[in-house]
Amino acid sequence: MDKNFDLSRYAALTKRLKALGSVYAKNKAAWGILFTFFLALGFAFLGLWLNSLFVFPVEARIGYLGMASLVLVSAISYFCLRPIFYKSNLENLALRLEQKFSELNNRLIAALQLAKNLKENPEHYSTDMIEAVIEQADSTTQKLDIQKIIDRRPIKKMGKMAGSLAVIFLIFAFFFPTTFNSSLYIFSHPLTEFVSPQKFFFVVSPGDAEVVKYSDVKIKINVEGEKPKKVNFYWRNEGARWNEEKLLQKSKETQVESPDFSFDIKEVKRSFDYYAEAEGVQSDQYKITVVDKPRVIGLRLTFNYPRYTQLKTQVVDENDGNINAIAGTKVQIEARTNKDLGKADIFFSDSSISEMKIEGSNAFGQILLKKDDSYHIELWDKIGNKNQDPIEYKITKVDDQYPVVEILEPGHDQDLSENMRVPLLIRISDDYGFSSLRLSYQIVSEGKEGEEKTIRIDLPNNNRTAMDVEYLWNLSNLPLLPGDLVRYKAIVYDNDTFRGPKKAESKTYSVRLPSLDEIIAEVESEQEGQVEDLETLLRGQRDLKKKIEDISRELDRATGHLDLDWQKRQQMEEILEKQQKLASDLKDLAQRMDENIEKIEENKLAALDMLEKLWEIRELMQEIITPEMKEALRKLAEALKNLDPELLKQAAEQMKLSQEELLKRLDRTIALLKRMQAEQKLEDLIKMAERMAESQDEINQNVEASEKEKLPKLSNAEKHLRQDLDSFEEKMQEFSDLATELSLLPPEEIDELQNMAQESGVKADMGQMISQLSEMNKSGAMKSGKSCSNKLKDMANRLKSAKEKMQLEMKEEILQAIKKALHDLFDLSDGQEGLFEQVEQLERVDMGLRSLALDQQNLKSGATRVAEDLDTLAQKTIFIGSDVRRFMALSVGSMEKATRNLEERKGDIALDEQKEAVYDLNVTARKLMQAMNAAQKSCSGSGMEQMFEQLQKMCNNQSCINQGTEQLGMCGGPGMQLSLSEQAAMQRLAAEQQAVRKSLAQLENEFGNSSEILGRLDDLGEEMKKVVDDFERLHVDQSTIERQKKILSRLLDAEKSIRKRDLSKKRRAEVGEDISRPSPKELPSDLFQPDQMAKDDLSRFLEEAYPKEYEQLIKEYFKALSKERMKE
């Protein structure tokens, strides 16, 4: 181009267009940025949304992030960078301007295209034109707002869209931070593997928990999210395999307030792990730890009883918590439990609580027993578990019982005996012992009741709860007159210091002071009655004997068959009945005699040897019915029952023989009894005479002491005495009759005694004294009184002499008889031995044996006579005992057998029998010699009477020593200073005790053989020695007093044993029971019998309530069934 063109206008134009292009590109880039931002938010939001639904795997996340990054990079490149770097060319801009501004009229595009031809103008356009076009385009564009072609609305739109998305995103992030963060986290860790989110998850209760052993556990499984239809429940005990249980979702009806799934485990015993699983979703694993509840495994109760009960502490370790004890008892409770405790309380029924002390697994508590109650122990372990169903134990308060007192002896109202003493045996019992025992008494004189007084009776200090207390009550100091009554009772107090001693009283008894005459009259009347009764029995037995003989004869006559008609049977039954009645009557008589002997004994109406005789007669009375008679009666009864003729014959024969013996014994008993009766009467007469003499002396003293004016009053006493004398004379008459009948004394002596009172003139003196007293003639009365007294004493002495003479004669007679029997026995023994030698020398079957049989028969006859003599002698003395007669009878029996064998020429057997006979004869002789010694002693004055007197004296002395010791009290011993008077008293008591000891030794030397009568006194000497030692050491304590009491008690026992046989009590140690035992009895057979089974069936069927009309049928059916079973 040659021409220089003005290109300024073009440059301005292009510059303007380029500026426009720049703005256009920026506009585009801005949109691209917003768009890219929008895309980024979109990707992020999409990612979050998807992540909330499921967790992408790493690959997907990386893919997603990659894709998003690519898109964003592309978007940035294309929409942000490209508009900047690849701007639109000017022509495009020009075209857009042309489109926008029509007034440009293509000049702009033409200007841009033609401007290129200004340099190279191949088409050869006019340059001017070109310049003109450019100029026009420039000028036009200058006038136009060319930036209007830039549309800014897409930017705004995109801005709004991106802003909206950003706001949504922020809201999401705000409201779902977890999801947002989680997603952010997940996407920020693209290489980390994340678990995909669950559709649901489990809420399990109780989760990890501790439960009590044997409690029920309910596992509740709730599902958050989409609920699966079933859930698998897994559990396992420690160390064991997993167990599976399929749980189904509960129906809607049951879903109210209940978990979605549950599993019940009853009484869990062991700890276990568990979890739930469904559709691959698994709960956490939990653990149920089983803990044992505290419980009592052992109970030990220690009973501390109130002190007054003296009961030792008792430990009961039997796991029995029931308390049964006396009020005031403290019970220590020790509960052993299965685990360490946190707390333990005792709960009482009234809701009161006593806290227990805890030591590890043991709990200790205490209960003071005041009332009936109940309690249980509640335990809590260290984690607060409480024991289940604690046992309720009973508390039973045992009341201290009232004591019981009973007067065993005498145990009835009675007359006071001469010694004015009443031996009391008082039985007391209480559950825990006594504090005191008293005897309360009251004198009733002529109907007036006196003051009630008490005597304290010492109790042994041995804390016993039951004892028999012996107390010899001495009434001699009481102002008693004949006819007076003393009412008495025992009162015992227990030792209850908790509520105060309780007392109990025995039944009230009375003792009456009778006059001697009353007693004598009573005794005599009884004795006479006994004799009469025995004589009646004798008469009856004689009649019976005839009847027995008649029947026996009839039975003997009956040959072949025996026609036992009704009448005969009646007769025999009558015999049987009468004999049985006889036995009963004799028993009654013996009983009456017992009582009478006791009365005689108490009132000293007879000497001891006489009492012995009375006892002997009493025993004879019981022996009247011999064993043979008893056997005969038994046989007769049997024969009558069986109607056996042969047996009846034998029984009748035996009855006949026994009846003879019975009559003999009855005779003997009556004879002895009459003899005793006579002796008794004589004894009574002596007593009466002595008593009258004493009374006379008493009246005399009163006369002497009285003033004249008062003398008439004393005449009444003398009148009474004269009446007694009348009574004496009557009794003397009775005695005379009896003595004459029994030839006890020569007739002339009997006459003298009978007339003694009359001849002495005592009766006349008494009459005179009565007159003198009435006349107030004191000196005369005194003189007459003295005369009376002397005469009465003389009478008593004469009677005593008569008695002694009678006894002496009896003794002589008995001794002579025994000597004679002994002599006869020796002769028989010699004869038997001689015969024995002769038989021994002969050939065993020699004919000479028969001739010796005669000699043997003679010896037997002699022996029989001796036996009869001994029987007769036995009627007179008690010393010929049954053993003497038994051996004699054996001897006679052996001789009889020897005689028979000799007759039969059985030499060997005869020799044996002869040997036996000699042996029995010798034993009889030895026993007879013993009897003779005893008889001699009994009459010598140093017999039983002396022993009794000595013992009585010893008892009295011991009683005084005991009393003295008690008064002295317990004193002395180590460290204790005694006063001089106390020391002297002890020395005196030691000497007295020593004296009693010596007396005992002497008594034992004299009567050592009578130990069975004395009782066991053998160790008493030793006991006495210990007491003496205590005194000598100047130390007296409770043991000394107890020992003394024991000594006295034993001496009294010995005294009693003489007074009455078999009185001493022998105490035997109790034998403990062994735990082994015989088998219980066999079971009743009906337990297994079909009959029982049928009955059971029947009762079961009937329980089914069948109609009435069927019941009978059912019963019949089962009856038949039962029979069937029985047959099987």
- Which phi and psi angles does 579 have, rounded to 5°? -65, -40
Are 31 and 156 in contact, with CB atoms under 8 Å apart?
A: no
Query: Rule CB under 8 A: is residue 393 a binding residue for another protein?
Result: yes
Residue closer to another protein (CB basis): 240 or 481: 240
Among 257, 389, 707, 837, indicate the residue that binds another protein (CB under 8 A).
389
Residue closer to another protein (CB basis): 397 or 1125: 1125
Question: CB 1074 → another protein: shortest distance, Å?
Answer: 9
Nearest of 1122, 1115, 1123, 1114 to residue 1092 by alpha carbon: 1122
Block residue for tokens 């009883």: 305
Cα–Cα dist 733/739, whole Å = 10
Residue closer to another protein (CB basis): 1038 or 1099: 1099
Among 980, 1087, 1104, 1112, indicate the residue that binds another protein (CB under 8 A).
1087
Residue closer to another protein (CB basis): 561 or 1100: 1100
Among 128, 244, 372, 392, indicate the residue that binds another protein (CB under 8 A).
392
Kind plus residue range of the DSSP H or E element containing 1103: helix 1090-1103
Helices 608-623, 907-940: axis angle to 10 degrees equals: 140
Task: Write the DSSP symbol of residue 121.
Answer: -
Cα–Cα dist 338/292, whole Å = 8
How far from chain centre, in Å, is Cα 632?
51
Residue closer to another protein (CB basis): 318 or 751: 318
Among 594, 702, 1092, 1121, indicate the residue that binds another protein (CB under 8 A).
1092
Among 139, 215, 232, 319, indicate the residue that binds another protein (CB under 8 A).
319
Contact letters for another protein, residues 150-179 (x by CB under 8 A): ------------------------------
Question: CB 1086 → another protein: shortest distance, Å?
Answer: 10
- C-alpha dihedral, 97 to 103 to 107 to 112, nearest 10°: -20
Among 185, 1088, 1106, 1110, indicate the residue that binds another protein (CB under 8 A).
1088
**Structure tokens given for 293:** 């509840």
Residue closer to another protein (CB basis): 1022 or 1082: 1082
Query: Rule CB under 8 A: is residue 1080 a binding residue for another protein?
Result: yes
Query: Rule CB under 8 A: is residue 1075 a binding residue for another protein?
Result: yes
How far from chain centre, in Å, is Cα 408?
28
Task: Write the DSSP symbol of residue 1072.
Answer: P
**Structure tokens given for 626:** 């011999």
Query: Rule CB under 8 A: is residue 1077 a binding residue for another protein?
Result: yes
E strands, 822-974, where? 971-972
Among 191, 248, 256, 1083, indicate the residue that binds another protein (CB under 8 A).
1083
DSSP annotation string for 397-427: EEPPPPPEEEEEES-S-EE--TT-EEEEEEE
Q: Which stretch binds another protein (CB under 8 A): 731-739, 744-752, 931-939, 1083-1091?
A: 1083-1091
Are 997 and 958 in contact, with CB atoms under 8 Å apart?
A: no
Residue closer to another protein (CB basis): 882 or 1099: 1099
Question: CB 274 → another protein: shortest distance, Å?
Answer: 20
- The count of residues in the chain is 1128
Q: Which stretch binds another protein (CB under 8 A): 145-153, 314-322, 402-410, 1114-1122?
A: 314-322
Residue closer to another protein (CB basis): 293 or 618: 293
Residue closer to another protein (CB basis): 686 or 1094: 1094
Cα–Cα dist 481/513, whole Å = 7
Residue closer to another protein (CB basis): 74 or 1099: 1099
Cα–Cα dist 141/133, whole Å = 12
Residue closer to another protein (CB basis): 398 or 1034: 398
Measure the CA angle with vertex 317, ends 313 and 321; round to 5°.
95
Cα–Cα dist 54/1116, whole Å = 86
Among 1082, 1103, 1109, 1128, indicate the residue that binds another protein (CB under 8 A).
1082
- Which phi and psi angles does 775 have, rounded to 5°? -90, 5
Q: Which stretch binds another protein (CB under 8 A): 126-134, 524-532, 1047-1055, 1089-1097?
A: 1089-1097
Q: Which stretch binds another protein (CB under 8 A): 217-225, 499-507, 580-588, 1075-1083?
A: 1075-1083
Among 252, 312, 1081, 1127, indicate the residue that binds another protein (CB under 8 A).
1081
Q: Which stretch binds another protein (CB under 8 A): 525-533, 916-924, 982-990, 1088-1096?
A: 1088-1096
**Total residues at interface with another protein (CB under 8 A):** 28
Among 151, 208, 226, 320, indicate the residue that binds another protein (CB under 8 A).
320
Q: Which stretch binds another protein (CB under 8 A): 102-110, 317-325, 718-726, 909-917?
A: 317-325
Nearest of 167, 21, 172, 176 to residue 86 by alpha carbon: 21
Query: Rule CB under 8 A: is residue 391 a binding residue for another protein?
Result: yes
**Structure tokens given for 1127:** 């047959």
- Which phi and psi angles does 212 have, rounded to 5°? -85, 140
In angstroms, the Cα distances linking 277 to 196, 200, 202, 221, 1121 are 17, 11, 8, 10, 65
Are 438 and 455 in contact, with CB atoms under 8 Å apart?
A: yes
Q: Which residues are near another protein by CB under 8 A?
A: 214, 267, 295, 297, 318-320, 322, 389, 391-393, 1075-1077, 1079-1084, 1087-1089, 1092-1093, 1096, 1099
